[in-house]
């Protein structure tokens, strides 16, 4: 389905995750963050960039892996993206929700 | 004489030894299977032990009983694999040279991964039911427990038998009802997932059952530590859940031997090709069951389906032929729902569990994703099948290694 985010029409799935990363840009991230009641600081951007890099390298993401990444520890990850950080952060980063579970 | 070595004589390793003992040319190949343990445990039985449905003797038999005569059982601890030298180093200093290696060393709990989990309350009010000792300690606790807050908890995925904690919650509901004390027990199911299960349709059905049985669900809970003093679990977001009994599934990891060999990922699972079951790094190493990192359930049924396909692939490999990319992640699991009923789910990498009939389309007799007594009888009968059919590597009639889509109600 299509959704208008930051004045642009982008393709999203039923949970609101972008289905085409090429359509992502910073203004979209800001608006998705606002929907989750987060205002993005430089620290947020570091984490988002890390997640996008891992996605491009096809590394499956998990809370454990992020905690060991050296970029952010789990505690801070929760402070930056409260409640369900991995789900929230990946949505803002414009990458798929991790299927870390079987 | 060539040498095929299997590491681990659990469900997966034992099945492979039996399959291959019929298939490999006896004059050309010697089969060895290595395990340090003396007992073979029927792990699904750990779920029933705490509720006095099974006794220890239902669960434990000797490893030797299931190893084929023409395979050598080597009882010893493995130090590490030296994959570049095609060697296994044993703890006692001896070495095994192999031409083909099958890793089936499984997965086990690692409570030490979570702060405070293996603290002073371990096996007093904090329990696991993924080990025989844990399950037995829990049985003894539940026998005369007077009630309170029972918290059933998953630390992180992946875990062996991802439905087992749900089954535990359902069986606990049934157990306390029969003891006429259900009103004294508050049951809460705590999961790092967003819902009761990992696949949408099954989650819907299972959440309905949780509600019906008055079991609370706390989702998206990523545990940071267990507080032994206050008897609470605390997540990274600061959420606190109190317990009188905590039944947790700790982090599951592959064997430390995999780490010592430098062959695992961050949870000691061996990177494995998901359709052929060949190691991603070494052509003469194959990985079966819980030890691999393939995105299939860590369950005996999966190992069973894998074993049929891996047997063919080992023969292809030995004959220098291309491997079959056939394994589809097929899993088939009964889910005990209490009161003598169970659900059945049948799924693979690409197809989530849905409603339908099994194994005969439109006939059954088993119903998929619906509670029935017949499913429960199936689960209980399965123990007999496990010891008498499955471990021996005999094909289970009408149940194919790859999943069948017929009889299933996909949209």
pLDDT digits (tens, 9 = 90+) for A64-74: 888 888 999 99
CB contact under 8 A, B236 and A102: no
Distance (Å) from the alpha carbon of A24 to chain B's nearest alpha carbon: 25
The partner residue sitting opposite B156, judged by closest CB among A64, A99, A102, is: A64
CB contact under 8 A, A102 and B297: yes
CB contact under 8 A, B156 and A62: yes
**Do B280 and B380 belong to one domain?**
no
Contact assessment for residue B284 and residue B100, using Cβ atoms and an 8 Å cutoff: yes
Question: Is the interface score ipTM higher than 0.85?
Answer: no
**Do B236 and B341 belong to one domain?**
no
Q: Taking residues B98-123, what's their average pLDDT? A: 98
Residue B180 is encoded by which pair of tokens? 């006429």
Look up the CATH number of the domain holding residue B288: 3.50.50.60
**Do B125 and B97 belong to one domain?**
no
B406 in a domain, yes or no? Answer: no
Q: Which H helix or E strand runs over B96?
A: strand B95-97
Q: Please give the Cα distance from B291 to B265 (Å, whole number).
A: 11
Those residues with Cβ within 8 angstroms of residue A56's Cβ, 6 or more apart along the chain or in another chain:
none
How far from the centroid of its chain's Cα atoms is residue A9's Cα?
18
The partner residue sitting opposite A63, judged by closest CB among B194, B222, B296, is: B222
Which of B195, B222, B271 is the best residue to mutate to test the A interface, defined by the most A CB atoms within 10 Å of its own CB?
B222
Q: Please give the Cα distance from B109 to B42 (Å, whole number).
A: 16
Which of A61, A80, A102 is the best residue to mutate to test the B interface, defined by the most B CB atoms within 10 Å of its own CB?
A102
User: Which pLDDT belongs to residue B86?
Assistant: 98
> For B51-73, how does the pLDDT look when each residue is reduced to its tens digit (9 = 90+)?
999 999 999 999 999 999 999 99
Residue B271 is encoded by which pair of tokens? 């990177």
- Beta strands in B348-386, from DSSP E residues, in sequence order: 356-360, 364-368
Residue B355 is encoded by which pair of tokens? 């409603």
> For B232-278, how does the pLDDT look when each residue is reduced to its tens digit (9 = 90+)?
999 998 899 999 999 999 999 999 999 999 999 989 999 999 999 99
Q: Please give the Cα distance from B363 to A52 (Å, whole number).
A: 48
CA angle B146/B149/B151 to nearest 5° reads: 125
Q: Packing angle between helix B164-178 and helix B200-212, nearest 10 degrees?
A: 20
Contact assessment for residue A20 and residue A10, using Cβ atoms and an 8 Å cutoff: yes
CB contact under 8 A, B156 and A63: yes
Within 10 A of A42 (CB to CB), how many other CB atoms are there? 6
- Domain span at residue B16 reads 2-106+255-318
User: Which pLDDT belongs to residue B199?
Assistant: 82
**Do B291 and B367 belong to one domain?**
no
B408 in a domain, yes or no? Answer: no
B345 in a domain, yes or no? Answer: yes
Distance (Å) from the alpha carbon of B190 to chain A's nearest alpha carbon: 14
Chain A residues in contact with B156 by the CB 8 A cut-off are 62-64
Residue A21 is encoded by which pair of tokens? 């990363």
Contact assessment for residue B3 and residue B96, using Cβ atoms and an 8 Å cutoff: yes
Contact assessment for residue B167 and residue B48, using Cβ atoms and an 8 Å cutoff: no
Those residues with Cβ within 8 angstroms of residue B379's Cβ, 6 or more apart along the chain or in another chain:
B334, B336, B342
B77 in a domain, yes or no? Answer: yes
Q: Taking residues B366-379, what's their average pLDDT? A: 93
**Do B78 and B124 belong to one domain?**
no
pLDDT tens, residue order, chain A (102 aa) = 899 999 999 999 988 999 999 999 999 999 999 999 999 999 999 999 999 999 998 877 888 888 888 999 999 999 999 888 999 999 999 999 887 554
| Chain B interface includes A4 (CB < 8 A) | no
Domain edge (last residue) among B290, B318, B346 = B318
B377 in a domain, yes or no? Answer: yes
Q: What percent of chain B has pLDDT over 70?
A: 100
User: Which pLDDT belongs to residue B102?
Assistant: 98
The residues facing B333 across adjacent strands are B345
B409 in a domain, yes or no? Answer: no
**Do B259 and B177 belong to one domain?**
no
B407 in a domain, yes or no? Answer: no
User: Which pLDDT belongs to residue A53?
Assistant: 94
Q: Please give the Cα distance from B138 to B315 (Å, whole number).
A: 44
Q: Is A101 a catalytic residue?
A: yes
Q: Please give the Cα distance from B321 to B310 (Å, whole number).
A: 14
Distance (Å) from the alpha carbon of A32 to chain B's nearest alpha carbon: 20
> For B205-241, how does the pLDDT look when each residue is reduced to its tens digit (9 = 90+)?
999 999 999 999 999 899 999 999 999 999 998 899 9
Q: Which H helix or E strand runs over B81?
A: strand B78-82
Q: Please give the Cα distance from B310 to B278 (Å, whole number).
A: 9
B70 in a domain, yes or no? Answer: yes
Domain edge (last residue) among B225, B251, B277 = B251
Those residues with Cβ within 8 angstroms of residue B192's Cβ, 6 or more apart along the chain or in another chain:
A63, A101, B154, B155, B156, B157, B220, B221, B222, B223
Distance (Å) from the alpha carbon of B109 to chain A's nearest alpha carbon: 16
**Do B120 and B212 belong to one domain?**
yes
User: Which pLDDT belongs to residue A102?
Assistant: 46
Contact assessment for residue A3 and residue A9, using Cβ atoms and an 8 Å cutoff: yes
> For B85-103, how does the pLDDT look when each residue is reduced to its tens digit (9 = 90+)?
999 999 999 999 999 999 9
The partner residue sitting opposite B220, judged by closest CB among A62, A84, A99, is: A84
CA angle B401/B405/B407 to nearest 5° reads: 115
Best CA proximity match to A63, nearest among B113, B118, B216: B113
**Do B259 and B305 belong to one domain?**
yes
**Do B120 and B235 belong to one domain?**
yes
**Do B121 and B243 belong to one domain?**
yes
The residues in A 25-64 lying below 8 A from B, measured between CB atoms, are 62-64
**Do B141 and B222 belong to one domain?**
yes
Domain edge (last residue) among B267, B289, B318 = B318
The partner residue sitting opposite B157, judged by closest CB among A68, A74, A100, is: A100
Q: How many domains does chain B have?
A: 3
User: Which residue numbers of B have CB closer than 8 Å to A's CBs?
Assistant: 156-158, 162, 192-194, 198, 220, 222, 224, 236-238, 266-267, 295-298
Give me chain B's average pLDDT, please.
Answer: 95
**Do B297 and B188 belong to one domain?**
no
b/e map of B206-235 (b: 16 or more CB within 10 Å)?
Answer: bbebbeebebebeebbbbbebbbeebbbbb
Distance (Å) from the alpha carbon of B294 to chain A's nearest alpha carbon: 10
Q: Please give the Cα distance from B238 to B224 (Å, whole number).
A: 9
- Is residue B337 exposed (0-12), middle (13-18) or buried (19+ Cβ within 10 Å)? buried
- Is residue B371 exposed (0-12), middle (13-18) or buried (19+ Cβ within 10 Å)? buried
- Among residues A4, A99, A101, A102, which one is catalytic? A101
User: How many Å is the Cα radius of gyration of chain B?
Assistant: 21
In three-state form (DSSP H/G/I as H, E/B as E, the rest C), the secondary structure along chain A is CEEEECCEEEEECCCCCECCHHHCCHHHHHHHHHHCCCCCCHHHHHHHHHHHHHHHCCCCCCHHHHHCCCCCCHHHHHHHCCCCHHHHHHHHHCCCCCCCCC
């Amino acid at each position: 389905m299509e959704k208008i985010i930051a004045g642009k029409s982008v393709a999203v799935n039923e949970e609101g995750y972008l289905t085409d990363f090429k359509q992502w840009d910073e203004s979209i991230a800001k608006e998705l963050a606002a929907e989750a009641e987060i205002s993005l600081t430089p620290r947020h951007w570091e984490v988002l960039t890390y997640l996008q890099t891992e996605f491009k390298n096809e590394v499956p993401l998990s809370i454990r892996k992020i905690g060991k990444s050296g970029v952010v520890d789990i505690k801070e990850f929760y402070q930056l993206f409260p409640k369900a950080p991995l789900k929230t952060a990946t949505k803002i980063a414009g990458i798929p929700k991790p299927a870390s579970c079987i | 004489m060539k040498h095929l070595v299997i590491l681990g004589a659990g469900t997966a390793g034992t099945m492979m030894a039996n399959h291959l003992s019929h298939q490999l040319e006896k004059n050309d190949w010697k089969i060895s299977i290595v395990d340090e343990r003396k007992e073979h445990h029927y792990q699904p039985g750990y779920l029933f032990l705490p509720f006095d449905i099974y006794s220890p003797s239902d669960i434990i038999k000797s490893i030797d009983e299931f190893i084929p005569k023409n395979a050598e059982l080597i009882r010893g601890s493995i130090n590490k694999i030296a994959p570049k030298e095609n060697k296994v180093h044993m703890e006692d200093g001896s070495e095994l040279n192999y031409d083909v290696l099958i890793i089936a060393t499984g997965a086990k709990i690692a409570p030490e991964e979570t702060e405070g989990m293996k603290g002073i309350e371990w096996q007093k009010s904090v329990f696991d039911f993924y080990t025989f000792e844990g399950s037995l300690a829990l049985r003894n606790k539940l026998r005369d427990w007077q009630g309170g807050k029972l918290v059933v908890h998953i630390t992180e995925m992946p875990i062996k038998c991802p439905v087992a904690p749900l089954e535990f919650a359902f069986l606990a509901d049934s157990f306390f009802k029969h003891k006429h004390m259900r009103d004294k027990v508050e049951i809460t199911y705590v999961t790092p997932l967003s819902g009761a299960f990992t696949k949408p349709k099954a989650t819907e059905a299972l959440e309905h059952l949780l509600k019906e049985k008055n079991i609370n669900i706390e989702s998206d809970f990523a545990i940071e530590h267990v507080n032994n003093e206050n008897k609470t679990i605390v997540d990274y977001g600061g959420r606190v859940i109190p317990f009188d009994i905590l039944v947790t599934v700790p982090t599951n990891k592959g064997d430390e031997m995999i780490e010592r060999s430098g062959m695992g990922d961050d949870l000691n699972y061996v990177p494995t090709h998901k359709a052929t079951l060949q190691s991603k790094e070494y052509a003469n190493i194959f990985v079966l069951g819980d030890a691999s990192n393939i995105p299939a359930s860590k369950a005996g049924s999966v190992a069973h389906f894998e074993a049929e396909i891996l047997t063919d692939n080992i023969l292809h490999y030995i004959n220098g032929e291309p491997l079959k990319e056939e394994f589809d992640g097929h899993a088939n699991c009964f889910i005990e729902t209490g009161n003598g009923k169970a659900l059945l789910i049948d799924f693979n990498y690409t197809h989530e569990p849905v409603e339908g009939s099994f194994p005969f389309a439109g006939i059954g007799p088993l119903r998929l994703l619906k509670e029935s007594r017949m499913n429960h009888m199936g689960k209980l009968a399965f123990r007999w099948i496990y010891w008498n059919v499955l471990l021996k590597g005999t094909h289970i009639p009408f149940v194919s290694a790859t999943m069948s889509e017929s009889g299933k109600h996909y949209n």
